[in-house]
Structure 1
């Protein structure tokens, strides 16, 4: 590899060359030179794009690929290609495969299948065996073989004592416990946010209370046990408030929010389109604004696409029966760029590295090259032709997005559109 990135605007808030045009010479995956002046190297391949911007490589903290077990929805190989072309140098892959990622063999498989790709695959181990919420999985062993965190995907831990023990146990080896927050008894048979829209459409509602009571309970457990807790994909104003207060009290808690909960509201449900059936559900404008505020003030640590491929048989059916979930890698940047400042987007798309203890890739000479290449300008309508995933269940089809992603440089490889 002998490449020169030419005339790229660097977006790196604390870097001395932030928001300035630079040139970067990369040799064998390592940054050889960074300069505001032209770099002329014989036989180097020049990467020059319209309005090229670069930042540290982005990380998505919640991605599902299906394999093993659901390869018809997505494969690891194609999923990592999609991630790379969408700007993500790292993806944390959920354990909701078949079999569940709850042991070292499953962790080894994911790492092996993800090897030799531009995008680095980081397995999330299940917190409980088979994600059943009954017994703790092999957390210590899985971490030793590469798992970066532990949580049951979209499943709240009903047994409070089990979560208490998990938080206590995880401290022995500095592991991060993550737990989805939802009270199933309050959610009941709800399928959308409980509010004016659900009433108008005659759909059973999910009150934000279902999330908030478990957030409050889990924060109380964290205060009792200590340790590190990550709360994925919060969706309500009260959840933001509770986590803000917990951080002010010194609790070691982090959280994420999903792109579609920052951009869309339950108003899009008028057509009963199951592409918008997600969990947690799209909520109203007041909740959306509170989530945006939480991102801006730092209460919400990172943003995820919560990419979840599903085949048409699970989505093109009656709203009540359709599965929850949308793909989101391809549309993540363009959607965020319609509601947040560019610096904030880059900050929140790289912050998961700190949470999941992924080595930060410094933009310095002599360091490995790990970049996302993108153009923050230009309006386009997202349609099926923009989808690279095997599954096409995107909530953003037909939406106007801003900007585009060229690709990434990572692991000594270049994927560039």
Structure 2
């Protein structure tokens, strides 16, 4: 039996269905389509999707439990992280089971509503994730470079409103997928159905892929790169000043607010100075963690988005040959695997999340002695960042 390779997205790759242009359909054997499996291709996909589902489901549920079940973990940044975990859970619970079922069929057997609905939800969650990461980068920017403005801009109520706006905007921005994805009949009786990109209208297909490239990759990357570059430069500048000033004995505090943190720390009591240094270290740790989350998101999604855009521009053929098809399959697996990456990053890079994960797994309450540290780790927006004015200036 011959098949034609289709232009597919993450929900249509490495499956027995190799769809194509409606003008080039080749007949198929319905009985054979449910009896032959290419285990050489299916095994890797099954393992990756299975691990993504298990790790992503457990990890993201733990994130939501840690944030919603612990009053000390309810901060501005964690509000965004809860939204990010919700988007990942939605993708895992709604799309991966369909993807796994699709691996074992040459045709789409789940109907037109699910064909459009699942791809639409998949796009919604991807857009929601990248918009949330962009919002976090802007929140970090204000906290570190404009701490005074952050006191009334970066609040929990404002974060809640931003999360709602992000989800609404995500549902709106994902609407082109409802037109770009089609449910079509193929073959001679018995007729089957495929759920593929509408390549019969090249302009529509090209617009959709380039649109997703801009919305999911180019525009948010530009914003996040700018924000985190400013943050890194500011941290480096202040650390250089601190290193220079710690070897000097201050004679006055007349150098201005921008120097107040360095000068003030040199004359504080040891306990107060240690506490300030710990707060700054926690702030920098969270910033590094969020940069890591952004980098993993871009590494996982960029290859697929770029490949799809190049394919729509005829750089790659519509009917993807064997080696290139396997490469695209790897890109699609990476995109789905990103849904399970964030909990791992939090576990490795955030002590407060590790402790919350452990308490959630063991069913323990937060020890009284740990509440102060947890509060310091989670309510980072209330820190006045690396450019905090001196106590005298605040008075």
Q: Same fold (TM over 0.5)?
A: no
Compare relative contact order (CA 8 Å, sep 6+) and give the higher one, 1 or 2.
Answer: 2
Q: Which has the higher helix share?
A: 2
If you compute each CA radius of gyration, which structure gives the higher value, 1 or 2? 2
Q: Which has the higher strand share?
A: 1
